[in-house]
């Protein structure tokens, strides 16, 4: 029996599985708000396995394994303690207990993102990374923040040599061109015209300071293995004063009950529930995480341009902050996307640009 969101995805997997390759009409008439690649792949496998839920779930576990392996191989090249950081990503409750064992679209998108990141940073193959990120965009449109950060990274790193810059720029357009084709099929919309999830449409986007504060809070949680060992350095730096100077934002919109004024009725996730469960203690916990996390972010940003990988990671974080602050609603699950790039924005190993 399909569980949780599988109840939405499983029927569409069967629709896509009616043919080994979906028709244009099937893609145009999707009733889910994400892209068609997930349903194409799982529909193909489902057709061969009589749509066995256990087998499809095993495929999801295999995809998660490939994602973790790609992350480790990338972090090994650039970060200290890559095994520990990979483990920190893996034990995220949404990755470990939700998107990996069940049929969610997140992990296939994550695999394409992390494989693309490996080719972008380690192999420096923009053609391969562009194709993989294009597949990620055809899986979940939220992946747009990654190729956008990569494009700006290349424009900055190769800004002096115009010949190389032009070639890098053209190759960096690959995922956007692939995404534009999908938008064209959807009558110039970022979601299928017949989607049943109206909250994911372009018209529902709007800035929310509460969501922005909550995003910074969760970044503080997920980046804690990076900033806690440097807490003394952060406190002694001017960055902590800049972060403390931004703390009145917490008074304007305290990051709790995040989706209260948004278009959905469910909570944001585990952290939001925890903040609600501790009552007034949240007014102590949130600043203790939010201020040093923002200080670490500021401190890292100052030196980001010294390394291609750090600049790329920081731009991914900033685009993700922007995206989360305007998206229709907040959900902790979406942070799976950005955790690897928090690691990549940290102090690099001794590796040349």
204-217 pLDDT per residue, tens: 778 889 999 999 99
Contact 291, 243 (CB under 8 A): yes
| Distance between CA atoms of residues 339 and 88, nearest Å | 9
| Distance between CA atoms of residues 296 and 223, nearest Å | 9
Tokens of 271: 């952290």
Q: What is the model's pLDDT at position 353?
A: 44
Mean pLDDT computed over every residue of the chain: 91
| Distance between CA atoms of residues 109 and 50, nearest Å | 24
pLDDT in tens, 26-55: 999 888 889 999 999 999 999 999 999 999
pLDDT reading at 261 higher than 70: no
pLDDT more than 70, % of the chain = 94
Q: What is the model's pLDDT at position 347?
A: 63
Q: How far is CA 64 from CA 90, 104, 150, 203, 270, in A?
A: 9, 11, 23, 33, 21
Q: What is the model's pLDDT at position 264?
A: 55
The phi, psi pair for 276, rounded to 5°, reads -75, -35
Output the CA torsion sign for 288, 291, 297, 302: negative
pLDDT in tens, 122-161: 999 999 999 999 999 999 999 999 999 999 999 999 999 9
Residue 309 DSSP SS3:
helix
Q: What is the model's pLDDT at position 242?
A: 96
Bridge partners of 348?
79
| Distance between CA atoms of residues 107 and 197, nearest Å | 20
Given pLDDT bands bounded at 50, 70 and 90, which one contains residue 349? low
Contacts of residue 170, defined as CB under 8 A and 6 or more positions apart, other chains included, come to: none
CA atoms within 13 A on the CB side of 255: 32
Length of the chain, in residues = 353
pLDDT in tens, 181-209: 999 999 888 888 877 666 555 667 788 89
pLDDT in tens, 232-255: 999 999 999 999 999 999 999 999
């Amino acid at each position: 029996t399909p569980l949780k969101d599988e109840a939405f995805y499983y029927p569409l997997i069967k629709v896509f599985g009616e043919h080994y390759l979906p028709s244009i009409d099937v893609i145009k008439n999707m009733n889910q708000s994400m892209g068609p690649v997930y349903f194409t792949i799982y529909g193909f496998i489902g057709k061969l396995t009589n749509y066995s839920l256990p087998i499809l779930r095993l495929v999801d576990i295999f995809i998660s394994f490939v994602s973790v392996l790609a992350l480790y191989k990338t972090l090994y090249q650039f970060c200290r303690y890559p095994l520990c950081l990979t483990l920190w990503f893996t034990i995220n409750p949404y990755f470990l207990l939700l998107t990996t064992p069940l049929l969610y679209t997140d992990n296939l998108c994550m695999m394409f993102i992390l494989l693309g990141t490996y080719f972008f940073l380690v192999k420096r193959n923009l053609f391969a990374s562009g194709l993989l990120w294009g597949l990620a965009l055809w899986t979940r449109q939220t992946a747009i923040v990654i190729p956008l950060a990569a494009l700006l990274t290349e424009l900055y790193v190769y800004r002096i040599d115009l010949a190389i810059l032009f070639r890098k720029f053209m190759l960096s357009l690959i995922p956007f061109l692939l995404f534009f084709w999908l938008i064209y099929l959807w009558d110039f919309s970022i979601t299928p015209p017949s989607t049943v999830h109206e909250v994911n449409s372009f018209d529902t986007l709007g800035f929310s300071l509460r969501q922005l504060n909550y995003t910074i809070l969760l970044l503080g949680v997920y980046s804690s293995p990076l900033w806690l060992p440097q807490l003394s350095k952060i406190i002694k730096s001017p960055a902590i004063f800049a972060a403390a100077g931004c703390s009145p934002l917490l008074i304007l919109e305290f990051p709790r009950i995040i989706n209260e004024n948004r278009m959905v009725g469910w909570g944001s996730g585990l952290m939001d529930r925890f903040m609600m469960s501790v009552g007034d203690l949240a007014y102590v916990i949130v600043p203790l995480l939010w201020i040093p996390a923002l200080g670490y972010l500021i401190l890292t940003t100052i030196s980001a341009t010294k390394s291609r990988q750090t600049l790329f990671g920081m731009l991914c974080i900033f685009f993700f902050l922007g995206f989360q602050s305007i998206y229709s609603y907040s959900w902790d699950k979406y942070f799976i996307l950005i955790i690897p790039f928090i690691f990549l924005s940290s102090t690099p190993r001794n590796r040349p640009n």
